[in-house]
Amino acid sequence: MDSKLMITVLLTAGAFLCSAGEVFKLDRVENWQERSPLTQHSQGILRGRGRLVVLSSEFYPYDSKKTYKFKGLYRQLIGSDSNIFRVGIVQYDKNKQEIEFASGRIVPKTDTVLIKAAAATDTAIYVKDASGWKRNALAAYAGTAKELSYKNTITLKVRSIEKSGDGWKVSFIGPINVDLPAGTALRQYGSGGRFRFFGNGTGIQVLGDLTCTHWHPRAKYFRPVVLSGTNGIKPGEETPVFEMRHPRIEVSE
């Protein structure tokens, strides 16, 4: 072989190898939660019958500079055409604490301001008025719904709400993970849920090549999740059977 041609071939092969990213394989029962209802079949197939809400057994690292895609095929077998199945992830912070997302739904009568500066390590904030606050909602910067920024959102469940001196103390289940100066306007928003779904299918529709989007700024880890059969079974339909063929997450630069 000509030496110049050989060099070109080697360089091309090297470039290909360098461009290949990580692959997180999900095609074994042990890749999913312990006591998972999934069963192993030949040719890299996993199946689950009935109502499923299953997360991966591992926490996978997230890098905001990379792209993450669900690869493989995801579908329901024939027999439950109206049932929905979903493919997505749950996101976690650096301490592997689950991140809950805020929705654009404003909780009425919760507008207030911080009367003390709050540090990211604090587990409580002090506000002028929290008399209308709810324990099942999330605190956020008091802009419009379009201005809602997860960088200014305390995505934690409220532990307690109590009167404190001239204001109110709102305690959370962990550190708030954001620095907020005194005078910051806050309000509560409804919870947007813990799951971020990138694929929703019905019947025998087949999903694949799904890009993971809508990452939280504090996300450092994630776990894939699949749901199926969560909206009941209509008369005449069979119990839904969810199937994954060679499921995996592919990571690219």
Per-residue pLDDT of the chain (253 residues; tens, 9 = 90+): 443 433 333 333 333 333 458 999 999 999 999 888 899 999 889 999 888 899 999 999 999 999 999 999 998 887 666 678 889 999 998 889 888 776 667 889 999 999 999 999 999 999 999 999 998 877 766 555 555 555 677 877 789 999 999 999 999 988 888 888 899 888 888 777 788 888 888 766 788 889 988 888 788 999 999 998 777 777 777 788 889 999 999 999 8
Which CATH number does the domain housing residue 84 bear?
2.60.120.260
User: How many residues in the chain?
Assistant: 253
Q: State both tokens at 122.
A: 């604090």
Looking at the structure, do residues 105 and 130 belong to the same domain, yes or no? yes
4 part of a folded domain? no
14 part of a folded domain? no
Per the CB < 8 A criterion, the answer to whether 190 and 137 are in contact is yes
**b (16+ CB within 10 A) / e for 58-83:** eebebeeeeebbbbbebbbeeebeeb
| Domain extent at residue 245 | 21-97+194-252
CB atoms within 10 A of CB 44: 17
Give the C-alpha separation, 178 to 156, whole Å.
11
Looking at the structure, do residues 91 and 213 belong to the same domain, yes or no? yes
Looking at the structure, do residues 187 and 199 belong to the same domain, yes or no? no
Give the C-alpha separation, 87 to 214, whole Å.
14
245 part of a folded domain? yes
204 part of a folded domain? yes
Output the furthest CA–CA distance in the chain (Å, rounded): 85
Looking at the structure, do residues 90 and 212 belong to the same domain, yes or no? yes
59 part of a folded domain? yes
Give the C-alpha separation, 58 to 25, whole Å.
11
Looking at the structure, do residues 178 and 221 belong to the same domain, yes or no? no
Looking at the structure, do residues 68 and 105 belong to the same domain, yes or no? no
Looking at the structure, do residues 160 and 199 belong to the same domain, yes or no? no
Looking at the structure, do residues 200 and 182 belong to the same domain, yes or no? no
Looking at the structure, do residues 122 and 65 belong to the same domain, yes or no? no
What's the predicted TM-score (pTM) here? 0.70
Domain count, the chain: 2
Looking at the structure, do residues 123 and 185 belong to the same domain, yes or no? yes
3 part of a folded domain? no
